[in-house]
Amino acid sequence: MIDGSSPGYLIYGAGAIGSVLGGFLQEAGAAVTFHGRGGHFRAMQESGLHITGIWGEHHIPAGEISVLDPSAAGAFSMILLCVKARDTLEAAAQAAPLLTDDGIMLSMQNGLNNWESIAGQVGQHRTAGSRVIFGSEIVEPGHVRVTVNADDVLLGEPFSPANRPLLKRLEADLLKSGIPARVVGRDEIWAAIWGKVLYNCSLNPLGALLGVPYGRLGESEHTRGIIRHVIEEIFLVMQARDVSVPYRDADDYYHFLLDRQLPPTAEHRASMLQDITAGRMTEIDALNGAISRYGRELSISTPYNDLLTALIKFKERA
C-alpha cells in the first residue's frame, strides 16, 4: 500500500543500487517511479523486480513497476540519481526538469565530483549527497542480489541547506524498508564521501585487474603494498585540499581498512570488475583518475593512482 505522506521518489538509473533502493522503498509503502535502460530494466517491466541476498528475498510484480513518463515535468520531490559517475552530468541535466521547485536531487553514487555536477543543474539548495556502502549486483536481468553492507547509508547537504524535512523523510522511509540510514551534517557527509573514495580507490581497480574478491587483496604482501601507496597518495591530495576524514593519517586508515572494512566485505567483487566483464566503461575517472587529476593540479606525484587508472582504461578498451 502506498503511504500518502511519502514524497514521490524517482529512481533515475535503475541498475543494481537503484533497483535495491527503489524496490525496498516501494515495498515499505513509498510511491516509486523507475527510469533505466538495457536488459535489466526491460526485464523489470516484463517480469518484475526480484531482490535477494543478505537482506532477504523480495519481489515487486511487473504490474507494480511504475516507469517514468518523460512528460512528467516538475512531478518529483525526490530524485535519487543512481547512474554511474561517468553519466552524472548528462543524467542530472535530463532529470532536472522533473524536480519540484522545493525538491532534492540526491546522488547515491560512487566517486568524486557528482555533487558538483548535480548542483550545476539544479542549484546547491536542491542538491544532496550520500555515502552508500552496501554492495549489490545484477545476477541476471530482473534479479538483483545484495552482497554486503559495511555501514549505514549516510545522507547530507554538501553545500547550502536543502529541504531538510524531505531528507529526514527519506531517512525514515529507508529505515522503515530495512535499509540502515541516517542524516548527517555537512562536514560529516564530505568526510564520508572521501572515506568511501579511500575504500574504493584502494580495492576496486585492483580487484578488477586481478579478478579476485576484496578479501584476497588483503592476503598478499604485494597487493597490500600497492594499497598502502594508493592510500598515502590520496592523503597527500586530501591534505592539500583541506579535506578532513576521521583517520589520523594514511597508516591509520590502512590498518582500519585491513582490520575493520575488509573482513565484512571479503567476498565482494568490485563493481569495476562487473563493468569490465560486461564490456561497460568503469567509474575509474571519478575514483583513482580523479586523484590523479587533483595531483596534477596540485603538483603532487600520484604514480600508483596514475598506473591503476591507465591499466583500467586499457582493460576498458581491450
d(Cα 169, Cα 106) in Å, to the nearest integer?
A: 13
- DSSP bridge pairs for 182: 154
- With both helix axes pointing from N to C terminus, report the angle between 114-122 and 88-95 in degrees, rounded to the nearest 10: 30
Residue 49, phi then psi, degrees to nearest 5: -110, 125
Q: Which amino acid is at 141?
A: P
d(Cα 222, Cα 76) in Å, to the nearest integer?
A: 49
Active site residue 315: no
DSSP assignment letter at 96: G
What are the angstrom distances between the C-alpha of 145 and each of 118, 192, 194? Answer: 28, 24, 26
- DSSP bridge pairs for 128: 106
- DSSP bridge pairs for 77: none
Beta strands in the chain (DSSP E): 8-12, 31-35, 49-53, 58-60, 76-81, 99-107, 127-131, 134-140, 143-149, 153-156, 181-183
CB atoms within 10 A of CB 180: 13
d(Cα 156, Cα 212) in Å, to the nearest integer?
A: 33
d(Cα 301, Cα 299) in Å, to the nearest integer?
A: 7
Q: Which one of 84, 168, 176, 196 is the catalytic residue?
A: 196
Helix (H, G, I), strand (E, B) or coil at 37: coil
The residues annotated as belonging to the active site are 196
